[in-house]
A and B are shown apart, each in its own frame.
Chain A
Amino acid sequence: MPIRFFKPLAILLGVFLITSCGNSSEQDAALEPTRDNTQEVLDYYASHPNFFSFKTPEDIPNDLVWEDGMDLPDIGSPEAKKGGTQYGALQDFPRTLRLVGPDSNGSFRPFILDNVAMAMAHQHPNNQNDFYPGLAKSWAVSTQRKTTYIRLDPDARWSDGEKVTADDYLFAFFFFQSEYIIAPWYNNWYGSMYTNITRYDDYTISISIPDVKPNMHYRTLNLSPAPQHFYRELGDDYVARYQWRFVPTTGAYEVRKNDIRKVRSIALTRVKDWWAKDKKFWRYRYNPDKIHLSIIRDTPKVFEAFRRGDLDQFGLNLGEFWYEKLPDDDPDVQNGYIHKTVFYNQRPRPTFGLWMNTAKPLLDNRDIRIGINYATNWDLVIEKFFRGDFERLKTVSDGYGEFSHPTLEPRSFDIDKALAHFANAGFTDRGPDGILVNDRGQRLAFTLTTGYEALKDVLTILKEEAKKPGLEFRIEVLDGTAAWKKVQEKKHDIQFSAYAVALEMYPRYWETYHSVNAYDIAFLEDGSVNPDRKLKTQTNNLEAIAIPEVDDMINRYRSSSDKDEMIELANRLDETLHDHASFVPGYKQSFYRVGYWRWIRYPDGFNLKHSSSAGRYFVHWIDTDMKQETLAARKSGETFPVSIKVFDQYKGD
């Protein structure tokens, strides 16, 4: 019989074996033969003549003021050396190499898209309102035409050697608007937020948007092309067909087929003769020749691998790592082998907090929601668990400068107020375990789900504190993907989660608060609530918020071109959402901390003002000589100067 109970382990082993056997090339071969969509794309352009225009260079207006951002400061350090291999870790093997579509939004995507792929121009990481050139050479904004004109850099190449031309931009719109990619967000964004793309010649285009916005640059210049030659086989089987094909990139790193070792590791290689390697803003970045990412599921194991020197860097944001596991007096730190750095940044803050599903019973009651706000002791978590390093998040739009609400404060833990609001909702008596019950015998209990295994302790603290005002949280810790699936299907009660926010001028509200993202048909023609409405899944409106006034404000906000009006609307939206109380703001962090072996070098000021993490802009480099030296020194006991630094030049917001 003992054998019987080793079975769970044996099966687990089996799971790993099975998943590691699925081979991509076999799957590829099994699909239908190649197809060619060239004609289909042309037909699509022809059937949408207002969206896709074809003109000649003579049609470009003469009164344009062209800019190229070349006077902005360079990014990175001229001292940076190219070469070496950077060793990092991922917690999950990427589920696909596609850039869009199901499962594409994982922790690997930044390496092949967000942090690496080039757009026409990018926000300067030291001043988000200035743009420096990427794939574009120069651009001109015409506000009265609501159009940005762009001259593309003819040097630009895809990583497979093909030229990046105007056609790839037109194709990008075809691609993102097509149903094949199974990505409704992209369909909506590229279908509704742009009105026209015009091709003047191979290297000149213009893009128009429906409304003039204060940050027109951001909306148009941040676009990236899609390689038309690569997507020639685009069709209904896109998801399967392109699952493990690396999309040619304009950026510095590509994934080579033999570097994909399913379940174990994946590596990126610096593109040979990358076209932008000598361009200003790009020349001192993306320095390592190779980035090797091992798959290590457990954070403690990742940390141990870092301590052994198998990984180069480790994020020390959590206090337990910064203060206990790698304290300042640790021998490796004191001997100067591992450097510790705190860097204060300025950028919109991820929205850590509790997201309540107002479509669930009880949570549809505002008193309950306000009560939950008062019953959640974030201050204790911040003070005792995060050791006062973090701050309380105030709204969902913190860190946007003037677009953030100036005075709004989140509700602090207050037992009496919580009890009063729960009482308003009919929960007046405490049951034998101290949890409130109403006269129908219903307990005041909710499931609190999270996908952040590493942060489950936060929830256990909140749970213990919530008992005081008679509220019960049932904690459910799921695998990251499973938790995300749960909220996307709107099956959660309360979710502890956060949206990563892009470096933008102003916050977005439509995705998270507009009723079209809450229900299929939220309201009837006459404006009344549709009694048969169904929750809309796969959207970011996690709170199922459907309030006509909010919709109205969001619509005006989206179409407004007046910055002051937008600020006013943003503030009013924040106030309305605060009153609605379906979000309990958690905490924010105005810095990041990182530990790294001394062979990882950073520029003098360490990093850039708007960087979200040390690796975001790839300004670091690997000193291979220093690596040899350090590894030898560890054996011989030789020491180096201690380096524990705080970079607070951007401390503020």
Chain B
Amino acid sequence: MNPQTQKKLKRFREIKLGYYSFLLLCFLLVTSALGELLINNRALVVSYDGSLYFPTYAAFHPGTDFGLEYTYQTNYRELQKKFEAEDNGNWVLMPLVPYSPYENHSTDGIFRPSAPSVEHKHYFGTDTTSRDILARLFYGTRIALLFSLVFMASVYLIGITIGCAMGYFGGTFDLIFQRFIEIWSNIPFLYMVIIVFSIVPGTFSITARITILLVVMVLFSWTSMTYFMRTETYKQKARDYTAAARIIGAGHTRIIFKHILPNVLATLVTFMPFTVVGAIAAITALDFLGFGLPPPTPSLGELLKQGTANLRIAPWIVVSAFGTLVVLLTLVTFIGEAIRESFDPKKFTVYR
């Protein structure tokens, strides 16, 4: 690693707020990757008639696998109670929160929001159809995070490639692409989402629909990235070191990847967290408006909507959704600030 970068990273570590936010976010990401082990209505381990089952990641176990009468997915919470009552050596180990984000689990016989309760293990309460809020928040956040990370990566890949090429090659290529981008970025994004979703057949699975949403969002978001890349590349291209590299005989590829990109990236990196924040906000807003993830996919936007609709009778819905959103966005913003500060070229360069 070159000493410049080491310096930057060291500086990043020194900015405590951002650094700890970064660690916390990483921790959240790792946790959410293992979410099924923490929040799930499938048991972690079932010991039945001497053999052990690990249903979490396996294909579903019909009730008949555990001596029950039904052929659909085992209700492990009930199985646990049954085994405890029978007391013949069988046991079930449930995750911390034994609910899936989809199931309606009513504690009082009616599907309605119920307040947080440790007794029922609904730690954040339930939503309007008695689904566990913690589970929905958790998986909703996971989808939002994953979505925004993939979104960021795609936007940067396209934006950097095209912007860099525009700046480096210039001339007609630059001219044509600039006009194209101007036109493209004037296509209304929300209309496109609405139009695209009106022609997407309903038979598409939820994953496919999320992917389509992602693609549409990326398609209409990469353009702004190119402006920065283009100007930056132009700037670097005119610098002496680029000219020197060329005189030595370096090819285009080498110049772009070895010389220009590393110098430009410093500025770009600082944008990244804000892109993530934007993507989370955008997906939440779209969900809130009803154009985002199809129901019953857990999502922050949907919870927020429920929360605002039931503000008087179930404040815990909006509190948990809003709280999560605030924490998430604050973390990412802190990281962003820290990166911006530590990567600020003005700190190290003689150019002013």
A8:B111 contact, CB within 8 angstroms = no
Considering only residues 285-301 of chain A, those with a C-beta below 8 Å from chain B are 298-300
Name the residue among A1, A470, A477 with the largest chain B CB count within 10 angstroms: A1
Contact B285 A324 (CB under 8 A): no
- One digit per residue, 1 when the CB lies within 8 angstroms of any chain A CB and 0 when it does not, for chain B 57-98 equals 001101000000011110000000000000000000000000
A456 contacts B281, CB within 8 Å?
A: no
> What B residues does A432 contact at CB under 8 A?
59-60
Q: Are A300 and B129 in contact (CB under 8 A)?
A: no
Closest residue of chain A to B113, judged by CB? A324
Give the contacting residue for A415; candidates B70, B111, B224; CB below 8 A. B70
Are B294 and A384 touching (Cβ within 8 A)? Answer: no
Chain A residue contacts of B313, Cβ below 8 A: 320, 324-325
Q: Is A502 in contact with chain B by the CB < 8 A criterion?
A: no
B-side contacts of A464, CB under 8 Å: 102-104
Tell me, yes or no, whether B48 is within 8 Å of chain A by CB.
no
Given A325-B312, A387-B110, does the pair A433, B60 have CB atoms closer than 8 Å?
yes
The total of interchain contacts (Cβ-Cβ below 8 angstroms) comes to 129
Q: Does A453 contact B (CB under 8 A)?
A: yes
Q: Are A482 and B72 CB-contacts (below 8 A) given A1-B224, A1-B274?
A: no
Interface assignment of A434: CB less than 8 Å from any CB of chain B? yes
- What residue in chain A is nearest B128 (Cβ atoms)? A457
What is the CB-to-nearest-CB distance from A398 to chain B, in angstroms, rounded to a whole number? 25
Is there contact, CB below 8 Å, between A469 and B72? yes
Chain B interface helix/strand/loop/mixed: loop
Cα A464 to Cα B62 with chains together (Å)? 15
Say whether A475 contacts B296, CB under 8 Å.
yes
Expressed in whole angstroms, the Cα–Cα distance for A464 and B100 within the complex equals 11
| Best-buried of A9, A323, A384, A463 by chain B (most CB within 10 Å) | A384
Q: Is the CB of B202 within 8 A of A461?
A: no
Q: A2-B278, A11-B189, A419-B71 are in contact. Are A320 and B112 (CB under 8 A)?
A: yes
Contact bitstring A467-480, B, C-beta under 8 A = 1, else 0:
11110001111010
Q: Is B191 in contact with chain A by the CB < 8 A criterion?
A: yes
A482 partner residues in chain B, CB cutoff 8 A: 198
Which residues does chain A contribute within 8 Å of B295, judged by CB atoms?
456, 459-460, 475, 477
CB of B109 closer than 8 Å to a CB of A: yes
Q: Which residues of B contact A447 (CB under 8 A)?
A: 201-203
Instruction: Give the size category of B's interface with A.
Output: 35 or more
Q: Within 8 Å CB of A467, what residues of B?
A: 72-73
Cβ-defined contact, A8 with B189, below 8 A: yes
B109 (CB) vs chain A CBs: closest residue: A384
In chain B between 159 and 198, which residues have their CB closer than 8 angstroms to a CB of chain A?
188-191, 193, 198
B115 to chain A, nearest CB (A): 12
Report the bound CA distance from A167 to B285 in whole Å: 56
Closest chain A CB from B283 CB (angstroms): 10
Partner of A434 from B73, B201, B225 at Cβ < 8 Å:
B73
Is the CB–CB distance between A453 and B290 below 8 Å? yes
B271 at the interface (CB under 8 A from A): yes
A223 vs B286: C-alpha distance when bound (angstroms): 46
Given contacts A5-B281, A325-B312, A467-B73, contact A474 B60 (CB under 8 A): no
Bound complex: CA of A576 vs CA of B281, how far in Å? 52
- Is the CB–CB distance between A474 and B279 below 8 Å? no
B277 within 8 A of A: yes
Interface size class of A (residues with CB under 8 A): 35 or more
Most A Cβ at <10 Å: residue of B109, B190, B206, B285: B190
Q: Is the CB of B202 within 8 A of A430?
A: no
> A299 touches which one: B109, B205, B275, B309 (CB < 8 A)?
B309
In the complex, which of the residues A1, A433, A461, A474 contacts B111, with contact meaning CB atoms closer than 8 Å? A461
Which residues of the other chain, B, contact A440 by a CB distance below 8 angstroms? none
Knowing A4-B224, A385-B111, A468-B70, the reply to whether A12 touches B289 (Cβ < 8 A) is: yes
Q: Chain A residues with Cβ under 8 A from B72's Cβ? A: 415, 434, 467-470
Most chain-A CB neighbours within 10 Å: which of B198, B203, B294, B311? B203
CB pair B188 A14 closer than 8 Å: yes
Judged by a CB distance under 8 angstroms, whether B308 is at the interface is yes
A436-456 interface with B by 8 A CB criterion = 445, 447, 449, 453, 456
Cβ contact within 8 Å between A474 and B294 = yes
Task: List residues 272-331 of chain B with CB under 8 A from any CB of chain A.
Answer: 274-275, 277-279, 281-282, 285-286, 289-290, 294-296, 308-313
Please name all residues of chain B whose beta carbon is closer than 8 Å to the beta carbon of A453 when the two chains form the complex: 290
Does A7 have its Cβ within 8 Å of any Cβ on chain B?
Answer: yes
Residue of A2, A8, A324 near B112 (CB, 8 A) is A324
How many Å from the CB of B54 to the closest CB on chain A?
15
- Across the interface, which residues of B come within 8 angstroms of A312, CB to CB? none
Contact between chains at A385 and B129 (CB < 8 Å): yes
The interface residues of chain A lying within 8 Å CB-to-CB of B205 are: 474
Q: Are B282 and A5 within 8 A (Cβ)?
A: yes
Q: Is A4 a contact partner of B290 (Cβ separation < 8 A)?
A: no
Residues A460 and B202 in contact, CB atoms below 8 Å apart: no
- State whether the Cβ of A21 lies closer than 8 Å to any Cβ in chain B: no
The chain A residue sitting closest to B275, CB to CB, is A1
Given A447-B202, A464-B103; A7-B296 close (CB under 8 Å)? no
A15 interface hit (Cβ, 8 Å): yes
**How many angstroms from the CA of A493 to the CA of B278 in the assembled complex?**
36
Question: Per-position contact with B for A1-34: 1 when CB-CB < 8 Å, else 0?
Answer: 1101101110110110000000000000000000
Given known contacts A384-B109, A385-B129, A474 and B70 CB-to-CB distance under 8 angstroms: no
CB pair A8–B73 under 8 Å, yes or no, is no
Residue of B whose beta carbon sits closest to that of A447: B202
The residue in chain B whose Cβ has the minimal distance to the Cβ of A388 is B110
Inter-subunit contact A11/B60 (CB<8 Å): no
With beta carbons under 8 angstroms apart, the residue of B198, B290, B308 that contacts A300 is B308
Say yes or no: B106 contacts A384, CB within 8 Å. yes
Chain A positions within 8 Å of B277 at CB level = 2, 5
Within the complex, what minimum Cβ distance (angstroms) separates A422 from chain B? Answer: 11
Write out the residue numbers on chain B whose beta carbons fall within 8 Å of the beta carbon of A298: 309
A372 to B312, CA, bound (A): 38
Q: In chain B between 225 and 269, which residues have their CB closer than 8 angstroms to a CB of chain A?
A: 225
Min distance, Cβ B87 to any Cβ of chain A, angstroms: 28
Chain B residue at minimum C-beta to C-beta distance from A460: B296
Q: Are B278 and A5 in contact (CB under 8 A)?
A: yes
Residue of B nearest to A323 (CB): B112
Residues on B with C-beta less than 8 A from A469 are 72
Question: What residues on A are CB-neighbors of B225 within 8 Å?
Answer: 1
Q: Does B21 contact A (CB under 8 A)?
A: no
| Complex Cα spacing A131 to B286, Å | 52
Give A5's nearest chain B residue, CB to CB. B278
- Does residue B141 face the partner (Cβ distance < 8 Å to A)? no
B32 at the interface (CB under 8 A from A): no
Q: Are A2 and B274 in contact (CB under 8 A)?
A: yes
* In the complex, chain A residues whose CB is within 8 Å of the CB of B310: 300, 320, 324-325
Give which listed residue, B70, B102, B113, B271, contacts A1 with CB less than 8 A: B271
Residues of B within 8 A of A7 (CB): 189
Interface centre among B221, B279, B295 (most CB of A within 10 A): B295
- Closest residue on chain B to residue A474 by CB atoms: B202
Say whether A430 contacts B60, CB under 8 Å: yes
Residue from A1, A325, A419, A460 in contact with B278 in the complex, judged by beta carbons closer than 8 Å: A1
Return the chain A residue nearest B311 by Cβ: A300
Least Cβ distance of A384 to chain B in Å?
5
Which of B112, B277, B308 has the most chain A CB atoms closer than 10 A to its own CB? B112
Of B71, B203, B285, B294, the residue contacting A9 (CB under 8 A) is B285
Against B, the Cβ 8 Å flags (1 = close, 0 = not) of A353-394 are 000000000000000000000000000000011010000000
15 A-B residue pairs with Cβ-Cβ distance under 8 Å, sorted by A, are: A5-B277, A8-B282, A8-B285, A299-B309, A384-B109, A419-B71, A430-B60, A432-B59, A447-B203, A463-B296, A464-B104, A469-B72, A474-B203, A477-B294, A482-B198
Q: Beyond the given A12-B289, A469-B72, could you list 20 further A-B residue pairs with CB under 8 A, ordered by the A residue number?
A: A4-B275, A5-B279, A7-B189, A8-B285, A8-B289, A14-B188, A319-B110, A319-B112, A320-B128, A324-B313, A384-B106, A384-B109, A384-B110, A385-B110, A432-B60, A447-B202, A456-B295, A460-B295, A467-B73, A482-B198
Q: Sort A-B residue pairs by CB-CB distance and give the 8 closest, nearest first.
A: A5-B278, A447-B202, A432-B59, A300-B309, A468-B72, A11-B190, A460-B296, A434-B60
